[in-house]
Amino acid sequence: MRTRRFIATMAAGFLGAAVLLVVASVLGFVGGGQTTTGAVSGAYAAFKSSGLTPQQIYEKHAGSVVEIQTTFPGTYDIFGQQTGGGQALGTGFVVSKDGYILTNAHVVSESGQAVSTVTVIFKGDGAQGLQVEGTVLGADESTDVALIKVDPSQTPELVPIPLGDSSKVTVGEAVVAIGNPLGLDFSLSSGVVSATDRELQSPNGATISGGIQTDAAINPGNSGGPLIDANGRVIGINEQIDSQSGGNEGIGFAVPINTAVQVMEQIKAGTLPPAQPADPYGDGSQISPY
């Protein structure tokens, strides 16, 4: 089983499926131990003056954040031996009572190849780690947005997280991220918006405009999770970090929620254009996001 790595050291990299479940299991990160909820110090004052505290946001919305486990198909060599593939971990969040869940495209696809299976794990009050099968309705690698559907009759009561307006995000406002960094489920980190209107590189090399930069701690496994403002509204989907070490260095990026909503509606309507690899140099060459 090969290691799935979506963080490129010395450059922005993708976070979603970077944690191999088998590795996380060995380290005790997945399926055992205590749930971790740790807010980064220093950001509380910003919340205190502008709205909900990190604790209030967590208590209100953590149950709407889900863990996403995916299995990627392998290929077969000339000897009939399977190569590649593997299992990986990401995050998503509920956006409707009828079972729609937003996440990153790179959590459920790689280079246009969809995952074999998607398992959505609910860990809110009364969920007790309930696992249900999810269906990938669509994944747009140009914006790194994907939409998953689960059957509400098989899940706990679905409580969507309210969506904000990413066009109104301002530098300095307080935010929190909830997700599964390194397999540590239900983790909370807090910080501020460090910058807006960043240009992010998508998995297929396209440019995602309006990216949100934050210093809230984001690590492998956070990918696809919500970046939430002090009013308790999602303003972005945590997607990648800029790191020299491969871990959090306080420079994280999120896809703006306005872009994600637009893609989600296109997926629902079946009008999402086919993904096309970007040609940033205009010479037919392509660049790998990994």
Residue-wise pLDDT for 163-175, tens only, equals 999 999 999 999 9
Mean pLDDT of the chain: 80
State the catalytic residue, choosing from 140, 144, 185, 215: 144
Residue 172 resides in a domain: yes
In a domain, 279, yes or no: no
Q: At 72, which CATH number?
A: 2.40.10.10
Q: Helix H segments across 62-161?
A: 105-108
3 is a domain residue: no
Task: Say if residue 228 is in the same domain as residue 88.
Answer: no
Same domain membership, residue 55 and residue 168: yes
Torsions phi, psi of 111, nearest 5? 55, 40
Concerning whether 140 is annotated as a catalytic residue, the answer is: no
Pairing assessment for the beta strands 130-133 and 117-122 based on DSSP bridges: antiparallel
Predicted confidence at residue 86, as pLDDT, reads 78
Is 106 an annotated catalytic residue? yes
Instruction: Give the Cβ contact number of residue 45 at 10 Å.
Output: 9
The whole-number pLDDT of residue 249 equals 84
pTM of structure: 0.79
Q: Which of 130, 160, 190 is the last residue of a domain?
A: 160
Residue that is written with structure tokens 């992010």 in the block: 200
Q: How confident is the model at residue 268, as a pLDDT?
A: 95
- Strand runs (DSSP E) across 33-85, as ranges? 65-72, 75-76, 82-83
Mean pLDDT, consecutive 10-residue stretches, the chain (290 aa), reads 33 47 32 35 53 95 95 68 73 97 93 85 85 95 96 95 97 96 92 97 94 95 96 97 82 97 96 56 35
Structural domain for 70, as ranges: 63-160
Q: Are residues 44 and 82 located together in one domain of the fold?
A: no
Task: Give yes or no: residues 88 and 143 share one domain.
Answer: yes
Catalytic entry in 187, 202, 223, 243: 223
User: Does residue 273 belong to any structural domain of this protein?
Assistant: no
Please check whether residues 116 and 131 belong to one and the same domain: yes
Domain finish residue from 143, 160, 177: 160
Number of domains in the chain: 2
* pLDDT of 274: 60
**Residues 86 and 150 grouped into a single domain:** yes
170 with 226, same domain: the answer is yes
Q: Are residues 167 and 58 in the same domain?
A: yes
Same structural domain, 112 and 225: no
Question: 61, 64, 106, 109: which is the annotated catalytic residue?
Answer: 106
Answer with the one of 160, 176, 211 that is the final residue of a domain.
160
Distance CA 247, CA 250 (A): 9
Q: How far apart are CA 274 and CA 290, in angstroms?
A: 22
pLDDT at site 12: 39
Residue 89 and residue 39 in one domain? no
- Asked, for residue 174, whether it belongs to a domain, the answer is yes
202 is a domain residue: yes
Give CA separation, 290 vs 31, 110, 219, in Å: 28, 10, 15
Asked, for residue 41, whether it belongs to a domain, the answer is: yes
> Are residue 175 and residue 254 in the same domain, yes or no?
yes
Domain membership of residue 23 (yes or no) is no
Residue 182 and residue 42 in one domain: yes
